[in-house]
Amino acid sequence: MSLPDFKYKQCIFYFSSHEKVKLKFKIDNIVIEDENGKTVLQHSCHRLFVLFIIGNVTITNVVLQKAKKFGFPVLLLSHNFRLDGYFNNRAEGNFLLRKKQYNAEEKNFFIARQLVAQKIKNQIALLKDIRYNTTSEKQSTNRLTLLHPESAKKSKELLGIEGNASKIFFPIYFRKANWTRREPRTKRDINNLLLDIGYTYLFHFIEAMTAIYGFDVYCGVYHTFFYERKSLICDLVEPFRCIIDLRLRKAHNLKQIDENDFFQKNGQFQLSYKKQSIYTTMFLKDILSYKEDIFLYIQNYYRWFMKDKPMEQFPVFQIKGEK
């Protein structure tokens, strides 16, 4: 798929608020009907890149057949944003790509270093974009610039560098947002919950991009093999996490986060069902503003990987920042 083709395509996100929502096909269109049979969304399959359904929905086998025919994946997510189902991996038969993945041990660590380096460079860019940094915060930012993932010799050393970068970055960047510490998937506070939500949507969007080419998403370069973990997507997400970090900071600055929208259950914070679409739309808007950048990055990564291009031609993503 070329960039002009991708620009023509659209990503549809539908939030199901009823138990009996139905997804069907009608005259080359995807149609979503509510529990009363009323059409709430209709979109041409010719212009559809990926369809996200959040919540409960009934799908006919005809829809799945048409998704394969028109070449768009259907992702089913629960209300807590867990991926329940994924239909139509468009290029899963690309055995040449997968063969190269399985035999790429020599360059995997190089790729891992590049991904972490880009993540840290984008963190530095976000910190430098902040106005009115204190002297101590500027010193911490300078410490971040002294970390060099490219010089790591082993995976444990690279993990240490990435961990140190996070310990420096998050407290400074979210200093006005009652920041404590980053704890993935614990949902110990509102900030961690919202970062998990934003990263989850970013994860699935990038997964949809890789489906264009047929990558084995379980074959990672930095994250190791682990049962049912899509390690390659965990890897490719790294340079783009800054999109979510920036969005969360903007939300705090604009006072778009209301503590009354959240509640605690079993020691974890959760987002009220009625408010989910507000926060999800907030993150998705920013992710989609970078959709062309993400598309080109994955496309260039595929070409770099398949053609064994020089290391200096490895794709690069740079965050635009708040300016």
How many whole angstroms separate alpha carbon 91 and alpha carbon 174?
A: 40
Give per-residue pLDDT as tens, 13-63: 777 765 677 878 888 888 888 778 888 888 888 888 888 787 777 777 888
Domain 95-313, what architecture?
Answer: Up-down Bundle (1.20)
Domain 3-87, what architecture?
Answer: Ribosomal Protein L15; Chain: K; domain 2 (3.100)
Residue 122: pLDDT over 90: yes
Give per-residue pLDDT as tens, 295-309: 899 999 999 999 999
Q: Rounded to two decimals, what is the model's pTM?
A: 0.83
Confidence tier at 130 by pLDDT (50, 70, 90): confident
Residue 111: pLDDT over 90: yes
66 is written with which tokens?
Answer: 């048409």
pLDDT reported for residue 47 = 86
pLDDT reported for residue 251 = 96
The domains of the chain are located at 3-87, 95-313
214 is written with which tokens?
Answer: 């047929």
Residue 91: pLDDT over 80: no
Burial class of residue 202 (count of CB atoms within 10 Å of its CB; 0-12, 13-18, 19+): buried
Burial class of residue 125 (count of CB atoms within 10 Å of its CB; 0-12, 13-18, 19+): middle
Is the Cβ–Cβ distance between 208 and 73 less than 8 Å? Answer: yes
Range in 92-96, 102-106, 112-116, 286-290 the model is least confident about: 92-96
- Mean pLDDT of the residues in the chain: 87
Angle between helices 105-128 and 135-145 (to 10 degrees): 160
Confidence tier at 186 by pLDDT (50, 70, 90): confident
Most confident of 35-39, 80-84, 214-218, 240-244: 240-244
Residue 90: pLDDT over 70: no
Task: Provide, rounded to the nearest whole percent, the portion of the chain with pLDDT above 70.
Answer: 95
269 or 71, which is more confident: 269
Query: How does DSSP assign 221-276, residue by residue?
Result: SSSPP-TT--HHHHHHHGGGHHHHHHHHHHHHHTT---GGGEEEETTEEEE-GGGH
Confidence tier at 82 by pLDDT (50, 70, 90): low
Residue 313: pLDDT over 70: yes
How many whole angstroms separate alpha carbon 98 and alpha carbon 217?
A: 10
Nearest to 194, CA basis, from 291, 240, 130, 262: 262
pLDDT reported for residue 4 = 77
263 is written with which tokens?
Answer: 């509640």
Residue 65: pLDDT over 90: no
Is the Cβ–Cβ distance between 100 and 214 less than 8 Å? Answer: no
How many whole angstroms separate alpha carbon 44 and alpha carbon 129?
A: 40
Contacts (Cβ under 8 Å, ≥6 apart) of 227:
none
110 or 76, which is more confident: 110
Residue 323: pLDDT over 60: no
64 is written with which tokens?
Answer: 């799945």
Residue 161: pLDDT over 80: yes
Give per-residue pLDDT as tens, 248-296: 999 999 999 999 999 999 889 999 888 888 898 899 889 989 988 998 9
Is the Cβ–Cβ distance between 202 and 210 less than 8 Å? Answer: no
102 or 106, which is more confident: 102
